[in-house]
Structures are given as C-alpha cells and as structure tokens.
C-alpha cells in the first residue's frame, strides 16, 4: 500500500501543488483493511503545506481508485491523509545539535 501510494503521487498525480519532495512515511491499515491512514511528509512553508493539503484532498478519489487497481484488496480502502512533520522536526533537532557542538568547540 505504501509503495503504491508513493508511486501514484510521484508518477500519476499531475498537480503542481504536490512537491517532488513528498514522502509516504507510514501507512496504517484497519484490521478489516477497509480504512487506511497515510502519513505524508512534505518539505514546504506554511502556504505550501496548505496548498499540498488542498491538492491531496482533491486527488484523494483518484488515489483511492488507483490504489484499489494496483493493490489486491477485496474493497478499495477509505484513505485518510495525515501530514507528518517528523522529518522537519528531525532536521531542526540536527541543526540545534550541530549549533551546540560548534558552540562547545568554540569555548574550548
């Protein structure tokens, strides 16, 4: 499911509001496989993120149809898209760690 959604976003959805730096971080399926929660990460500013959310909302029907065609499931799962900012938070943490290391080295 994760691979299918990633390929659809990268190759099939032609909306310019979806940046190339969009990653499918995780997909959580319900026990009966009728619902899927897809966690997406995108590197963009606040306006870019809002445009991205709007683009995903408008393309969700297409993505659902394509997923049901590619993944062998009895029914097409209802897909909920969630923006995940863990990659951005990780980058901010790495930046803070690097700054702290530089400050410590400057003091020595």
pLDDT score of 78: 94
pLDDT score of 90: 86
Binning pLDDT at 50, 70 and 90, where does residue 19 land?
confident
Q: Over the Cα atoms of the chain, what is R_g?
A: 18
Q: What is the pLDDT of residues 92-107, one digit of tens each?
A: 899 999 999 999 999 8
Taking all residues of the chain, what is their mean pLDDT, rounded to a whole number? Answer: 91
Q: Taking 80 as the threshold, does the pLDDT of residue 64 lie above it?
A: yes
Beta bridge partners of 42: 22
Q: Are 99 and 56 in contact (CB under 8 A)?
A: no
Alpha-carbon distance 71 to 73, whole Å?
Answer: 6
Q: What is the pLDDT of residues 22-56, one digit of tens each?
A: 889 999 999 999 999 999 998 888 888 899 999 99
Tokens of 69: 């065609």
Phi then psi for 44, rounded to 5 degrees? -160, 165
Structural domains in the chain (count): 1
Q: What share of the chain is helix, strand, coil (3-state, %, to 5)?
A: 55, 20, 25
For the domain that residue 52 is a member of, what is the CATH number? 3.30.300.20
Please state whether the predicted TM-score (pTM) of the whole model is above 0.85.
no
pLDDT score of 49: 87
Using DSSP's 3-state secondary structure scheme, residue 40 falls into strand
Per-residue pLDDT, averaged over 74-86, amounts to: 89
The CA-CA-CA angle for residues 22, 26, 10, to 5°, reads: 30
Q: Which of 27, 24, 21 is nearest to 42 (CA)?
A: 21
Range of 12's domain?
2-107
């Amino acid at each position: 499911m994760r691979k299918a959604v990633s390929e659809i976003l990268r190759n099939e959805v032609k909306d310019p509001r979806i940046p190339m730096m969009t990653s499918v971080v995780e997909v959580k399926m319900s026990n009966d496989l009728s619902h899927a929660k897809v966690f997406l990460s995108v590197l963009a500013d606040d306006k870019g993120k809002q445009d991205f959310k709007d683009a995903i909302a408008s393309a969700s029907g297409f993505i659902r149809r394509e997923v049901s065609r590619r993944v062998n499931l009895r029914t097409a799962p209802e897909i909920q898209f969630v923006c995940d900012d863990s990659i951005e938070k990780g980058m901010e943490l790495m930046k803070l760690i690097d700054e702290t290391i530089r400050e410590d080295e400057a003091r020595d």
